[in-house]
A and B are shown apart, each in its own frame.
Chain A
């Protein structure tokens, strides 16, 4: 028999190899049974009958194995010998003479070896190249057996992993254009399907050219005024060099405390400390962030046109809008007023 006793005996205990399943044994068994049946002269069989015969055959084999093993162990061996199997057969009442003749009978149909299931390919996931043969032999050629095996070839051989790009200009443009268009079309179609649309046609059944309705799309988004989207357009992103618009010495390093803009203003009326930027809304807190000149507490005299030279040298921007907000006069520290 082709099926070794050990294989069968193992089958019930554990399945170390995930590729060998109960099912595959059964399949082999079924093929054997069917083979014998056809040899005997059956043309066809019902699945139920075949299954019953298989079951019978399996229990016979199982009993044979168990019994052989018992004899083996009785003789204090670990592996069964030919004799052990014979004893077991005899014990089961199977006549053994003629068995070899039967086995080598002339018209015997032999079954192909069961193909190892494709999942065995597992190794190819981990290894690349023709590793088992060539890399080992190469390694032996190079160094000798004592050296560890070389890693997979991809680790040290540079292999081109991509196709040469299309250099044809027309092709490239064509491809880029159609990809872009497909993406855009898919996106707009999707949005059109999920939201409110307009139809260009009087009959509402057609949805060939759906137009996304201009109503605001997502209600959970913060509702910004329409001009925000229009002016801060999103269809393209340009890396603008913002620095060129910045004033030369504007202090940008002031920590921006955006978090506390909801707090009520915590002014300290007794001190002249210019904490007035806190109550300002986060959007506009830059206005007062610029440090006032040390003399800001002094009366802001209106500049005469002569004095009003364009000055940038001292780095301090004198602009009344940047000046801190003054405390009311009747609080603890009276402040001098301009008028």
Chain B
């Protein structure tokens, strides 16, 4: 990496962040940032920083010289000036990607462009490796993203004027300070704030270079109210009172080089709990929660020990902090030596189910400290490493602490999720920066004939920048990364992989201890190629084939297996097909390589590895067992256990069962054809939980007495893994339903339940709860739900089952138990919901309009009785996390849906209001979304969108979108009554300009838009004339962005700030650098002064056109005037922000040179010639300038982007506009 360093334009070595005015009542922050940078060349002209929604007052160099600056953020309004006819996602995603790339610091972008004034040279501030300090003063007022203030209502205020408090809390205008007598202090109310965001969002709260690859050391100072605690990264050096003794300042020092996105801050009246086993670990929680905090974090030291042992490496930081906050952005977010977790993860020691989840999340958060915070990744295409390795480590923790079964089950589940997503949307490419090699040397691992097809982006969004990716995609990608790392573990061995990780960690640790030497810190930044290199160095194995196959190309494999036993030859003739791949099904690709097949015969378990080369491949397996059933002998299994089996079900073949890829070494889906008795044997005797669950599911297709018996035996088998038993209950319900017509007698599940949990004296009365055996606890929870799925011949739930369930409610007695039964009770309510079948007598009720309490059937009444009682009781005696309420709401919705109750959303609306517990809200909103789909009117959709727009809790906003995507209000292009142009308009505005502050939410809306309208124009928008379509093509920088999207394989997106970058307008892939005209570099470098001299004397002609923005935090003034007038006018009291984005420009000479090309290009836009990829740089410059100029036409952007855009267009595009035909239309 050493040679690369010299290409960096500059690197940060140290940064000071000082937030002095953190004000809860006005939700504002005043701050100061000082970056110490080392320029890597001596003629540096400007520095770009990331800063969003900050109001910048002043920028100075070395604390003495004020520097002019400009502000431009293309992501504020993505597609500028798009008319209604252009509301299609294709256009949007191009603009979105180019906008995000423009401010991506990895691509040398940034919103804040600071010009180094010539005085700086005069004062000799600039020099190679000469530290230059850049000070920025800024403030934030009512930040919309990045920082979240949680300010509960004032209870006393609420008493006096009910509703007023709620309004102020929601509206964020609680600034009117009421008289002290009537207020409860913020600390007592539990007000707190924390920084949050999607991937790299530090720019939302302080100016920085917001990329994971830019490391530096930090000094952090936060002045907060004396009742509050400020928790941040690094070591707390000291806490000092201010002079008035009303506030105190927390001083933190981060000695380990850390990237800006890994810096965070939490302020609140926290209770502090130092881990009794490890004093360097501190836990924080909100007031009143200390007891549950203590119960929750009991195990944390064990996780530490585990991680340190596994990685054979000390925890990289000197301390670790866990803060549990309310309204968390995600359930856990990791920062350097600090994790922000959701307060809903806390649990008392009487709770069972939450423990699993909390520990897994806690372990993952800790693993992220190693990979993600300490070792970061370089580009977005390397994201998979960070996500995958941390998940892999967390997976090892699961294996150790919850057992191998749990681990395998988890892997299996994750694989299913990945497969499901890929088949729905398309194959995920983990690292798309480098295309897979087209030719592999022949004979290399049998993958010689793999043809490489350049895969088109199958998604509706550009996946190459993390800020444009759908959150669901990122989630699934993380899972796939985990699976890929696990595959790697299979290939090189677990120990070897850990050695690789250990090597990286020790290199990084050494690197982190060298101070002030950014070059040495490269070892702390991973990328795919260094990762594969270090694998090679440690293990001597070249994994490039693997990387090409699984990392650099997308999709998964699907195998269809059939076999025939040839008795004459005593062989199994097996055929493995990949028809789905040859048919080009979405997300599936052809797999070429080794495949493991395991055959259980009478004589034992045999594993084979077959090379898979074609779509159809045939293999003959000679059986070891010649004679069958001649002797009664024990049959050895794969774990050398010998068991007796009842072999009467078998036919002539000695094969008991066959499995493909038993160890989940590939990301694959399987379709195995074997007769039912083989599945039964597999279920009964295979020791692997994934095989068992696959067998249980397969048996659903074979309803027979034998299947039923096998499933029942499985459920009753104490030695079996509890999750498999739980799964078997559901499968048994399905099998029993299929056999309902020809079976009588009590339902099998009922009998099992009575046998296991019925009391001794009377089996219809359940025993008092005793959850000390967790296996039976989980089964006890699962059985009633499965039981409720039983249906008799009439298709309704058998009355005896319902009666039994009601008895379970009645006799539930938890007084002797040491654990809370809230999950069990919730499961019971769920079970009641499962019994509900569509009402038959709908017609009698005049279309259900007059469902009254009297017209209910007795069954429904009994169900309602229990549900209402439980729901009401929860108001007075809430259960843990209101689990019972959640189930009650779902059951009520089900009753409504099936026509037993009049469908009404009011209930769910009320439960979904802000102020309810988050889980309750989400559950209610999910029901509400379901209602909207079935019979909602447009008002209901508007209500949901209002919540998405204005709800104080960012996670709820995100989740509402996800619910609406899962369960869209109407199907695409069906002319639904709610499919209105207003909705298109609204959603478009959300994603185009509304949610600039939260890329997760913006991408959620993109997903929703895709779900509702697809990629093309929404159908409900009246088709414009063809002529109207034409200008669009010219109007947009479509050509360039299109090419960029097309070529997403070829262009590495994250070439870091190299020296060329200053002279090239944008990222140019290294491998194409040679393709540029050789004169390019020198000329442009020489022309840089031009760039500034150009824009200085040319003020934007219409810089007052745009009104000052409605959002006050981004005030605008014409930056060009400021630049011309010099820095004196950038005084503090004007408090304005100059946002102007400026791309480097080429000289006029250069422009002229390329003029002809451009002209031809614009004509050939639609054809998108491949050769033009070479000119991406120019195109991006184009796009930037075009976007800038179109900014002048945009209606209104938050932060008054119009002016900035205008200014930009005036100066930066001047040389090109005249030449470019693109602009002639504007």
Please give the residue numbers on chain A whose beta carbons come within 8 Å of chain B beta carbons, in ascending order: 169-170, 173-174, 176-178, 180-181, 184-185, 187-188, 191-192, 198, 200-203, 206, 208-217, 219-220, 222-236, 238, 240, 242, 245-248, 250, 265, 267, 276, 279-281, 283-284, 286-287, 300, 302-303, 305, 308, 310-312, 317-323, 325-331, 337-339
| Stretch of B684-692, B908-916, B965-973, B1191-1199 contacting A (4+ beta carbons < 8 Å) | B908-916
Which residues of the partner chain A approach B649 to less than 8 Å between Cβ atoms?
none
Which residues of the partner chain B approach A214 to less than 8 Å between Cβ atoms?
875, 910-911, 913, 916, 920
Which residues of the partner chain A approach B279 to less than 8 Å between Cβ atoms?
310-312, 317-319
Contact of B879 among A215, A233, A265, A337 (CB under 8 A): A233
B240 touches A284 (CB 8 A): no
**Contact flag A319-B880 (CB < 8 Å), given A302-B235, A302-B318:** no
Which residues of the partner chain B approach A320 to less than 8 Å between Cβ atoms?
235-239, 319
Which residues of the partner chain A approach B818 to less than 8 Å between Cβ atoms?
238
In Å, the complex CA distance between A50 and B981 comes to 98
Which residues of the partner chain B approach A238 to less than 8 Å between Cβ atoms?
348-350, 818, 820
Which residues of the partner chain A approach B820 to less than 8 Å between Cβ atoms?
233, 235-236, 238
Which residues of the partner chain B approach A248 to less than 8 Å between Cβ atoms?
276
B278 touches A202 (CB 8 A): no
Contact of B917 among A200, A227, A300 (CB under 8 A): A227
Which residues of the partner chain A approach B349 to less than 8 Å between Cβ atoms?
238, 240
**Contact flag A202-B917 (CB < 8 Å), given A284-B287, A311-B279:** no
Residue of A nearest to B848 (CB): A202
B946 CB within 8 Å of chain A: no
A235 touches B298 (CB 8 A): no
Which residues of the partner chain B approach A330 to less than 8 Å between Cβ atoms?
243
Which residues of the partner chain B approach A242 to less than 8 Å between Cβ atoms?
291, 294
Q: Which of B259-293 contact A (CB under 8 A)?
A: 269-272, 274, 276-280, 282, 286-292
B136-166 near A? 1/0 per residue, CB < 8 Å = 0000000000000000110100110010000
Residue of B nearest to A266 (CB): B245
A228 touches B288 (CB 8 A): yes
Given A211-B907, A319-B274, 7 extra CB contacts under 8 A? A226-B915, A233-B820, A233-B880, A240-B348, A246-B294, A308-B280, A328-B240
A236 touches B271 (CB 8 A): no
A305 touches B881 (CB 8 A): no
Could you list 13 examples of A-B contacts with CB < 8 Å? A173-B762, A187-B876, A198-B906, A211-B871, A212-B871, A214-B916, A219-B158, A223-B155, A281-B185, A284-B271, A302-B318, A312-B277, A328-B240
How many A-B residue pairs lie within 8 Å, measured between CB atoms?
Answer: 290
A202 touches B761 (CB 8 A): no
A231 touches B292 (CB 8 A): yes
A208 touches B237 (CB 8 A): no
B229 CB within 8 Å of chain A: yes
In Å, the complex CA distance between A280 and B246 comes to 11
In Å, the complex CA distance between A302 and B317 comes to 12
B821 CB within 8 Å of chain A: yes
Q: Looking at the assembled complex, report how far the CB atom of B356 sits from the nearest CB atom of chain A, in whole angstroms.
A: 17
Which residues of the partner chain B approach A219 to less than 8 Å between Cβ atoms?
158-159, 162
Residue of B nearest to A262 (CB): B185
Contact of A206 among B239, B282, B319, B853 (CB under 8 A): B853
A226 touches B918 (CB 8 A): yes
| Stretch of B74-82, B247-255, B480-488 contacting A (4+ beta carbons < 8 Å) | B247-255
In Å, the complex CA distance between A242 and B270 comes to 20
Which residues of the partner chain B approach A318 to less than 8 Å between Cβ atoms?
279
B865 CB within 8 Å of chain A: yes
B346 touches A231 (CB 8 A): yes
Q: Looking at the assembled complex, report how far the CB atom of B1018 sits from the nearest CB atom of chain A, in whole angstroms.
A: 34
A173 touches B813 (CB 8 A): yes
B1149 CB within 8 Å of chain A: no
B343 CB within 8 Å of chain A: yes
B877 CB within 8 Å of chain A: yes
Contact of A281 among B227, B291, B812, B874 (CB under 8 A): B227
Residue of B nearest to A244 (CB): B298
Q: Looking at the assembled complex, report how far the CB atom of B473 sits from the nearest CB atom of chain A, in whole angstroms.
A: 30
B1072 CB within 8 Å of chain A: no
**Contact flag A233-B878 (CB < 8 Å), given A184-B869, A225-B152, A225-B190:** yes
Residue of A nearest to B287 (CB): A283
Please give the residue numbers on chain B whose beta carbons come within 8 Å of chain A beta carbons, in ascending order: 152-153, 155, 158-159, 162, 184-185, 187-190, 219, 226-227, 229, 235-243, 245-246, 248, 251, 253, 255, 269-272, 274, 276-280, 282, 286-292, 294-295, 298, 314, 318-319, 326, 343-344, 346-350, 759-762, 765, 810-814, 818, 820-822, 849, 851-854, 864-865, 868-869, 871-882, 892, 901-902, 904, 906-907, 910-911, 913, 915-920
A188 touches B872 (CB 8 A): yes
Q: Is the interface of A mostly helix, strand, loop or mixed?
A: loop
A217 touches B875 (CB 8 A): yes
Residue of A nearest to B761 (CB): A169
Those 10 A-B pairs whose CB atoms lie nearest each other, nearest first: A247-B276, A223-B155, A283-B287, A188-B872, A208-B853, A320-B236, A287-B272, A245-B294, A169-B761, A226-B917
Of B184, B242, B294, most buried by chain A (CB within 10 Å of CB) is B294
A240 touches B241 (CB 8 A): no
In Å, the complex CA distance between A216 and B911 comes to 11
Of A226, A242, A311, A328, most buried by chain B (CB within 10 Å of CB) is A226
Residue of B nearest to A181 (CB): B810
B155 touches A222 (CB 8 A): yes
**Contact flag A231-B880 (CB < 8 Å), given A169-B759, A223-B158:** yes
Which residues of the partner chain A approach B189 to less than 8 Å between Cβ atoms?
225
In Å, the complex CA distance between A311 and B280 comes to 10
A230 touches B882 (CB 8 A): yes
B274 touches A317 (CB 8 A): yes
Which residues of the partner chain A approach B187 to less than 8 Å between Cβ atoms?
281, 283
In Å, the complex CA distance between A310 and B238 comes to 21
Which residues of the partner chain A approach B158 to less than 8 Å between Cβ atoms?
219, 223
A240 touches B350 (CB 8 A): yes
Residue of A nearest to B766 (CB): A173
Which residues of the partner chain B approach A325 to less than 8 Å between Cβ atoms?
226, 239-241, 248
Q: Looking at the assembled complex, report how far the CB atom of B889 sits from the nearest CB atom of chain A, in whole angstroms.
A: 10
Q: Looking at the assembled complex, report how far the CB atom of B896 sits from the nearest CB atom of chain A, in whole angstroms.
A: 9
Which residues of the partner chain B approach A236 to less than 8 Å between Cβ atoms?
350, 814, 820-821, 879
B237 touches A338 (CB 8 A): yes
In Å, the complex CA distance between A236 and B825 comes to 13
A302 touches B272 (CB 8 A): no
Which residues of the partner chain B approach A210 to less than 8 Å between Cβ atoms?
868, 872
Contact of A280 among B227, B243, B760, B904 (CB under 8 A): B227
Residue of B nearest to A180 (CB): B813
Which residues of the partner chain B approach A191 to less than 8 Å between Cβ atoms?
872, 875-876
Q: Looking at the assembled complex, report how far the CB atom of A12 sits from the nearest CB atom of chain B, in whole angstroms.
A: 62
Q: Looking at the assembled complex, report how far the CB atom of B346 sits from the nearest CB atom of chain A, in whole angstroms.
A: 5
**Contact flag A267-B822 (CB < 8 Å), given A185-B869, A236-B350, A302-B318:** no
**Contact flag A201-B229 (CB < 8 Å), given A230-B344, A231-B881, A323-B239:** no
In Å, the complex CA distance between A234 and B875 comes to 10
A250 touches B292 (CB 8 A): no
In Å, the complex CA distance between A249 and B419 comes to 52
Q: Looking at the assembled complex, report how far the CB atom of A280 sits from the nearest CB atom of chain B, in whole angstroms.
A: 7
In Å, the complex CA distance between A231 and B761 comes to 37
In Å, the complex CA distance between A174 and B348 comes to 31
**Contact flag A326-B851 (CB < 8 Å), given A188-B869, A188-B876, A247-B274:** no
**Contact flag A329-B240 (CB < 8 Å), given A201-B852, A214-B916, A339-B253:** yes
Q: Looking at the assembled complex, report how far the CB atom of B1080 sits from the nearest CB atom of chain A, in whole angstroms.
A: 47
A284 touches B272 (CB 8 A): yes
A321 touches B229 (CB 8 A): yes
B919 touches A201 (CB 8 A): no
B811 touches A173 (CB 8 A): yes
Residue of B nearest to A215 (CB): B910
**Contact flag A302-B253 (CB < 8 Å), given A200-B901, A326-B239:** yes
Contact of B343 among A198, A202, A227, A303 (CB under 8 A): A227
A339 touches B237 (CB 8 A): yes
